[in-house]
Structure 1
Amino acid sequence: MTDLSVLLPFLLFGLIMTATPGPNNALVLASGAQVGIRRTLPLVLGIALGVGLQLVVIGLGLGAFFLALPGLHLLVSALGLGYLLLLAWRIARSGPIRLDAEPAAPMGLLAGAAFQWINPKAWTVSISAAAAYIPVEHHAPNVILAALLLAMLSLPGVGVWALVGSALRGWLADARRARRFNLGMAVALLVSTLPPLYQLFAA
Structure 2
Amino acid sequence: MTQDLLFAFILFAFVSSITPGPNNLMLMASGANFGFARSIPHMLGIGIGFVVMILLVGFGLIQVFDAFPVAHTLLKVVSVAYLLWLALKIARAGAPRGAQEDGTPITFVQAALFQWVNPKAWTMALTAITLYAPDRSLWAIGLVAAVFGAINLPCVSSWTVLGQQMRRLLTSPTRLRLFNWSMAALLVASLYPVVMPAVAG
In which range does the TM-score fall when normalised by the shorter chain? Answer: over 0.9
127-136 or 95-104, which deviates more: 95-104
177-186 or 97-106, which deviates more: 97-106
**SS of alignment partner, residue 96 of structure 2:** coil
Quote the offset at 1:103 in angstroms.
Answer: 4.2
106-115 or 189-198, which deviates more: 189-198
TM-score by length of 2: 0.93
8 A Cα contact 1:97 1:174, kept in partner: no
182-191 or 58-67, which deviates more: 58-67
| Residue 151 of structure 1, aligned match among 149, 152, 157 | 149
Q: Residues 170 and 50 of structure 1: is their aligned pair in 2 closer, same or farther, counting only changes over 3 Å?
A: same
Quote the offset at 1:19 in angstroms.
Answer: 0.5
Structure 1, gaps ≥5 residues long: none
Quote the offset at 1:160 in angstroms.
Answer: 0.3
**Runs (4+) off by over 4 Å:** 199-203
Structure 2, gaps ≥5 residues long: none
Written as runs of structure 1 = structure 2, the 5 A alignment for 1:1-203 is 1=1, 3-98=2-97, 102-136=101-135, 139-199=137-197
Distance 1:149 1:31 in 2: 26
Distance 1:82 1:43 in 2: 21
| 1:13 alignment partner AA | F
TM-score by length of 1: 0.92
Structure number with higher helix proportion: 2
Quote the offset at 1:94 in angstroms.
Answer: 1.7
Distance 1:90 1:116 in 2: 18
Q: Residues 100 and 64 of structure 1: is their aligned pair in 2 closer, same or farther, counting only changes over 3 Å?
A: closer
Note the alpha carbon deviations across 1:144-169, whole angstroms, 9 max, x for none: 12112112211111000000011111
**SS of alignment partner, residue 179 of structure 2:** helix
Quote the offset at 1:101 in angstroms.
Answer: 5.1
Distance 1:202 1:141 in 2: 38
Distance 2:146 2:153 in 1: 11
Distance 2:68 2:107 in 1: 32
Quote the offset at 1:61 in angstroms.
Answer: 2.0
Quote the offset at 1:198 in angstroms.
Answer: 3.6
Give the aligned length. Answer: 201
Quote the offset at 1:48 in angstroms.
Answer: 0.8
8 A Cα contact 1:99 1:170, kept in partner: no
Distance 1:152 1:197 in 2: 30
Q: Residues 117 and 201 of structure 1: is their aligned pair in 2 closer, same or farther, counting only changes over 3 Å?
A: farther
Aligned-residue Cα RMSD (Å) equals 1.8
Note the alpha carbon deviations across 1:44-96, whole angstroms, 9 max, x for none: 11101111111111112211211211112211221111111111001111233
8 A Cα contact 1:59 1:130, kept in partner: yes
